[in-house]
Amino acid sequence: MIDIDKIRSDFPILTQKINGNNLVYLDNSATTHKPQQVIDSIVDFYSSMNCNVHRGVHYLGEQASIAYESVREKVKDFIKAKKSKEIVFTSGTTESINLIANSFGRSFINKGDEIIITEMEHHSNIVPWQILCENKGAKLKIIPINNNGTLMIDKLNSLITDRTKLISLTYVSNVLGTITPVKDVIKTAHSKDIPVLIDAAQAVQHIPIDVQNLDCDFFVFSGHKIYAETGVGVLYAKEKWLEAMPPHKYGGGMISKVSFKKTSFAEVPFKFEAGTGNISAVISLGKAIEYLNDIGIKEIQKHEDELMRYTFDKLSTLDGITIYGNAPKRCGIISFNLDNIHHYDAVMILDKMGIAVRSGTHCAEPVMSHYGINGSIRVSFAIYNSKEDIDGLIYGLKKVQEMHQ
Amino acid sequence: MDEKINNIQEEIIEEFSKLNDWFDKYEYLIDLGKSLEPLDEKLKSEENSLSGCQSKVWLKAEIRGERILYLVASDSLITKGMISLLLRVLNNQYPEDIVNADLYFIDKIGLNTNLSPSRVNGLMSIVKHIKSYAKVAPNINK
């Protein structure tokens, strides 16, 4: 059982009043707030250690490099990767996916090849593949979704051909909260030697991860959605892929030898980390993982599952509400609309009451098209959310409905 | 500047001064939105659709004699309410007066402070479209 009051007290922003009301923050899929421990780690870094990493051999340079690399180790343990060299630091999920599209895609996708994604992807897991396919003359194929928000996974076998070179799918839908059957997809794909990329931007903060058990080839997520600073992300890839893939950008810190005739590149993972990384954000990611480990991701999962059920039950009591998707396995997110009320209007009124939720298409327009809507209200949870937050939300939604009567 | 435009603005400011808090203001906007005459579905075309707004907005202008008549729609009631205020001030006016209108009522009734920045931008984008149509409208002598 987690101590919600103790956890809330770790997040200074939650004590803020918004328009005179207590803040009810339920837009955690967009970004989570940061505990004091994470905020302190950023200040500490600049106060005592600031230096570029993997360059200076002076004291501060060494200290910063040790701290930076210890985070790689922590990330490795957090997602249960085999080796820390399989962890590449990026600026976020978007860059991680673009890295794979520009590197793996450049080397291994050719004219006539096929890439499979799903109908429930975030634009970040659609557009890089769409552009790659356009450039290469390859084909993008889509696993459709059922109305209950699950994937039509039985279609996968018929979508796979001998030209399929990659399957890229989300672990958790950023609109519907559906947990997709990634393990089944990976098993099917591997039986045909097709690598699989998992977009875990909405998964790592909610459910325990074991990339070796999943056996995925690529696994990506963002730091800022998991209580760390913005501007850091992770690309996990099996070592064999990182060895086989060319760098996607070139510059300092990623070479082993440079002359005007020829340049050779550094070892994995450094050949994918050209230029100075977002060092303080990486440090903050290490602290965020420590923070999560101290609470325990399984405890977090239990708490958030309970909150999800509570929210679902409470929302279902409202008249004139349509909830999108009802997958048996879901986490973190619920999307809905109120009859005859524009999601944008609803969210503006909620904001006046100090309730932060998201409206719009959530960077997933194909999901909106599937349900024939131009947007929705989205509620998303984090460890610090309580049943009181949900009660506040329900009160706010009733007020929205009242004002529209 | 046509006196009429400012008279209407003063009327609106007076009405809003009776509304106590943002709840009342929003409720009033929603009511105004509901009462805005629905736009013919045919006019909700790509051509008439405005960009820069988070909710959908369609705008069509027609010359009626020497004045301009605007037809506007939105899928958001609050946006419609705001538009209905704009139209109350600017509809059926001479093009020159529309172009020169100083829409101080928006600030005075607290819309700027009660709306999110993105919504204020959306509103300003509608104003810009209304004015830009008046600019290119045939220059008719009063």
What ipTM goes with this model?
0.82
B100 falls within a domain: yes
Say if residue B139's pLDDT is above 60: no
User: How many separate domains does chain B show?
Assistant: 1
Q: Please check whether residue A342 touches B, CB under 8 A.
A: yes
In the chain, the amino acid numbered A201 is A
The CATH number linked to B91 is 3.90.1010.10
Cβ-Cβ contacts under 8 Å for A91 (sequence gap 6 or more) = A231, A232, A233, A278
B119 falls within a domain: yes
Residue A309 host element (H or E): helix A297-316
DSSP string of chain B, one letter each residue = --HHHHHHHHHHHHHHHT--SHHHHHHHHHHHHHHSPPPPGGG-STTTBPSS-SS-EEEEEEEETTEEEEEEEES-HHHHHHHHHHHHHHTTB-HHHHHH---THHHHTTHHHHS-HHHHHHHHHHHHHHHHHHHHS-----
B141 falls within a domain: no
Q: What is the pLDDT of residue A202?
A: 98
pLDDT band at A192 (very low <50, low <70, confident <90, very high): very high
How do A376-380 and A358-360 pair as beta strands? antiparallel
Q: What is the pLDDT of residue B8?
A: 94
B80 falls within a domain: yes
Q: CA of B81: which chain A residue's CA is closest?
A: A345
Kindly tell me the burial class for residue A365, based on how many C-beta atoms sit within 10 Å of its own C-beta (0-12, 13-18, 19 or more): middle
**Residues of the domain holding B26:** 3-136
Report the DSSP beta bridge partners of residue A236.
A87, A219
Q: Please check whether residue A344 touches B, CB under 8 A.
A: yes
Task: Decide if B23 and A404 are in contact by the 8 Å CB cutoff.
Answer: no
CA distance A71 to A65: 10
B44 falls within a domain: yes
B56 falls within a domain: yes
- Cβ-nearest to B26 among A342, A374, A403: A403
Percent of residues, chain B, with pLDDT higher than 70? 92
Task: Decide if A344 and B77 are in contact by the 8 Å CB cutoff.
Answer: no
Lowest mean pLDDT among A57-71, A334-348, B107-121: B107-121
Q: Please check whether residue A351 touches B, CB under 8 A.
A: yes
A-B CB pairs within 8 A amount to 40
Tokens encoding A396: 């706010």
Task: Decide if B76 and A344 are in contact by the 8 Å CB cutoff.
Answer: yes
Catalytic residues of A: 363
Lowest mean pLDDT among A45-54, A85-94, A293-302: A45-54
Q: What is the mean pLDDT of residues A111-140?
A: 98
Q: What is the mean pLDDT of residues A152-163?
A: 97
Percent of residues, chain A, with pLDDT higher than 90? 91
B71 falls within a domain: yes
Going by C-alpha positions, the residue among A325, A345, A287 that lies closest to residue A40 is: A287
In chain A the domains, ranked by start, together with CATH numbers, are: 4-27+296-404 (3.90.1150.10), 39-294 (3.40.640.10)
Q: What is the mean pLDDT of residues B17-35?
A: 89
pLDDT band at A157 (very low <50, low <70, confident <90, very high): very high
pLDDT band at A248 (very low <50, low <70, confident <90, very high): very high
Q: Count CB-CB contacts under 10 A for residue B134.
A: 22
Per annotation, catalytic residue among B8, B32, B53, B111: B53
Q: What is the pLDDT of residue A273?
A: 95
Q: What is the pLDDT of residue B141?
A: 44
Q: What is the mean pLDDT of residues A15-41?
A: 96
Say if residue A291's pLDDT is above 50: yes
Beta strands in A245-401 (DSSP E): 255-258, 263-265, 321-324, 333-338, 355-356, 358-360, 376-380
Q: Which of A169-173, B7-11, B26-30 has the highest mean pLDDT?
A: A169-173
Question: A346 to chain B, minimum CA–CA distance in Å?
Answer: 10
Distances in whole angstroms, Cα of residue A255 to Cα of each of A53, A60, A236, A247, A262: 14, 22, 20, 10, 11
Q: Please check whether residue B28 touches A, CB under 8 A.
A: no
Say if residue B118's pLDDT is above 80: no
Say if residue A70's pLDDT is above 80: yes
Q: What is the mean pLDDT of residues A130-142?
A: 98
Question: B67 to chain A, minimum CA–CA distance in Å?
Answer: 32
Q: What is the mean pLDDT of residues A377-400?
A: 97
Task: Decide if B75 and A352 are in contact by the 8 Å CB cutoff.
Answer: no
- B37 vs A221 pLDDT, higher one: A221
Q: What is the mean pLDDT of residues A121-128?
A: 98
Question: A219 to chain B, minimum CA–CA distance in Å?
Answer: 33
- A320 vs B124 pLDDT, higher one: A320
Alpha-carbon dihedral of residues A204, A393, A24, A325, nearest 10 degrees?
A: 20
Say if residue B53's pLDDT is above 50: yes
Q: What is the pLDDT of residue B37?
A: 78
Q: What is the mean pLDDT of residues B59-71?
A: 89
Going by C-alpha positions, the residue among B106, B109, B98 that lies closest to residue B123 is: B106
CA angle (B78 as vertex; B72, B81 as ends), nearest 5: 50
Task: Decide if A345 and B30 are in contact by the 8 Å CB cutoff.
Answer: yes
pLDDT band at A390 (very low <50, low <70, confident <90, very high): very high
Q: Please check whether residue A356 touches B, CB under 8 A.
A: no
In the chain, the amino acid numbered B100 is N
